[in-house]
Amino acid sequence: MSFPPPRPAPHNGPGTCTRCHQAVIYCLTAENKVTRAVDPERNPNGNQAVHQDHTGRWIARQLDRERPTPEHAEVLHMPHVATCPVPAPRPSRAAAPRQRRGVRPAPWWRR
Protein backbone atom coordinates (compact mmCIF):
# COMPACT_ATOMS: atom_id res chain seq x y z
CA MET A 1 0.00 0.00 0.00
CA SER A 2 1.38 3.33 -1.00
CA PHE A 3 0.65 6.72 0.35
CA PRO A 4 -0.89 9.31 -1.93
CA PRO A 5 1.29 12.28 -2.72
CA PRO A 6 0.83 15.07 -0.18
CA ARG A 7 -0.67 17.34 -2.79
CA PRO A 8 -1.58 16.90 -6.45
CA ALA A 9 0.86 18.12 -9.02
CA PRO A 10 0.11 21.72 -9.86
CA HIS A 11 -2.17 22.05 -12.81
CA ASN A 12 -0.64 23.57 -15.90
CA GLY A 13 -2.50 24.83 -18.91
CA PRO A 14 -6.16 25.69 -19.49
CA GLY A 15 -8.39 25.07 -16.50
CA THR A 16 -10.91 26.74 -14.28
CA CYS A 17 -10.43 28.99 -11.28
CA THR A 18 -11.07 27.07 -8.09
CA ARG A 19 -12.89 30.05 -6.61
CA CYS A 20 -15.04 31.52 -9.39
CA HIS A 21 -14.94 28.61 -11.88
CA GLN A 22 -14.14 30.90 -14.77
CA ALA A 23 -11.77 29.70 -17.43
CA VAL A 24 -8.15 30.47 -16.68
CA ILE A 25 -4.77 29.25 -17.83
CA TYR A 26 -2.49 27.91 -15.14
CA CYS A 27 1.06 28.96 -15.84
CA LEU A 28 4.32 28.24 -14.15
CA THR A 29 6.02 31.46 -13.24
CA ALA A 30 9.41 31.97 -14.76
CA GLU A 31 10.60 33.71 -11.60
CA ASN A 32 10.07 31.18 -8.85
CA LYS A 33 8.30 28.19 -10.40
CA VAL A 34 4.98 28.57 -8.68
CA THR A 35 1.66 28.34 -10.47
CA ARG A 36 -0.17 31.51 -11.36
CA ALA A 37 -3.57 31.64 -13.06
CA VAL A 38 -4.02 34.12 -15.86
CA ASP A 39 -7.14 35.04 -17.80
CA PRO A 40 -7.42 32.96 -20.98
CA GLU A 41 -7.82 35.92 -23.31
CA ARG A 42 -4.87 37.90 -24.50
CA ASN A 43 -4.89 41.31 -22.90
CA PRO A 44 -2.49 44.05 -23.96
CA ASN A 45 -3.01 45.67 -20.57
CA GLY A 46 -1.87 42.56 -18.71
CA ASN A 47 1.53 42.26 -17.13
CA GLN A 48 2.02 38.53 -17.60
CA ALA A 49 4.06 37.55 -20.64
CA VAL A 50 2.84 34.04 -21.37
CA HIS A 51 4.27 31.40 -23.68
CA GLN A 52 4.48 27.63 -23.94
CA ASP A 53 7.87 26.03 -23.70
CA HIS A 54 9.07 23.17 -25.89
CA THR A 55 7.43 20.60 -23.62
CA GLY A 56 4.07 22.36 -23.82
CA ARG A 57 4.18 23.82 -20.35
CA TRP A 58 2.65 27.25 -19.97
CA ILE A 59 5.10 29.76 -18.55
CA ALA A 60 4.21 33.23 -17.30
CA ARG A 61 6.79 35.93 -16.82
CA GLN A 62 5.90 39.05 -14.94
CA LEU A 63 6.97 42.11 -16.86
CA ASP A 64 9.46 44.18 -14.97
CA ARG A 65 11.68 47.17 -15.51
CA GLU A 66 14.48 45.16 -17.08
CA ARG A 67 12.22 43.33 -19.53
CA PRO A 68 9.08 45.47 -19.83
CA THR A 69 7.77 44.07 -23.10
CA PRO A 70 6.83 40.58 -24.30
CA GLU A 71 9.64 38.77 -26.08
CA HIS A 72 9.68 36.09 -28.77
CA ALA A 73 6.50 34.02 -28.54
CA GLU A 74 5.24 35.71 -25.40
CA VAL A 75 1.78 37.27 -25.37
CA LEU A 76 0.31 39.45 -22.67
CA HIS A 77 -2.36 38.19 -20.31
CA MET A 78 -3.98 39.65 -17.23
CA PRO A 79 -3.29 37.78 -14.00
CA HIS A 80 -6.55 36.19 -12.93
CA VAL A 81 -6.22 37.49 -9.37
CA ALA A 82 -6.79 40.95 -10.84
CA THR A 83 -10.14 39.98 -12.34
CA CYS A 84 -11.38 37.11 -10.15
CA PRO A 85 -14.79 38.12 -8.77
CA VAL A 86 -14.30 35.99 -5.67
CA PRO A 87 -11.91 37.75 -3.35
CA ALA A 88 -8.85 35.74 -2.55
CA PRO A 89 -7.87 35.11 1.02
CA ARG A 90 -4.74 36.97 1.97
CA PRO A 91 -2.31 34.16 2.64
CA SER A 92 0.79 36.15 1.99
CA ARG A 93 2.37 37.96 4.88
CA ALA A 94 4.22 40.14 2.41
CA ALA A 95 1.01 41.26 0.70
CA ALA A 96 -1.12 41.72 3.79
CA PRO A 97 -0.26 44.52 6.17
CA ARG A 98 0.81 43.39 9.58
CA GLN A 99 -2.13 44.28 11.71
CA ARG A 100 -0.86 43.45 15.16
CA ARG A 101 2.50 45.12 14.94
CA GLY A 102 3.74 46.25 18.30
CA VAL A 103 1.23 44.45 20.48
CA ARG A 104 3.21 41.31 21.14
CA PRO A 105 3.20 40.81 24.90
CA ALA A 106 6.43 41.30 26.77
CA PRO A 107 8.39 38.13 27.38
CA TRP A 108 7.57 36.39 30.61
CA TRP A 109 10.91 37.22 32.16
CA ARG A 110 10.25 40.95 31.90
CA ARG A 111 6.74 40.86 33.33
20 binds Zn ion (CB under 5 A): yes
Give the CA-trace dihedral at 23, 43, 55, 16, to 10 degrees.
-10
- Identify which range of 2-10, 77-85, 88-96, 100-108 contacts Zn ion by CB under 5 A: 77-85
Between 22 and 47, name the residue whose CB sits nearer to Zn ion.
Answer: 22
Between 11 and 19, name the residue whose CB sits nearer to Zn ion.
Answer: 19
User: What b/e sequence results for 29-51 when a residue is b if at least 16 CB atoms lie within 10 Å of its CB, and e otherwise?
Assistant: ebeeeeebbbbbeebeebbbbbb
Between 60 and 70, name the residue whose CB sits nearer to Zn ion.
Answer: 60
Nearest of 65, 67, 22, 24 to residue 49 by alpha carbon: 67
Site string for Zn ion, 33-72 (x = CB under 5 A): ----------------------------------------
Interface residues with Zn ion (CB under 5 A) are 17, 19-20, 84
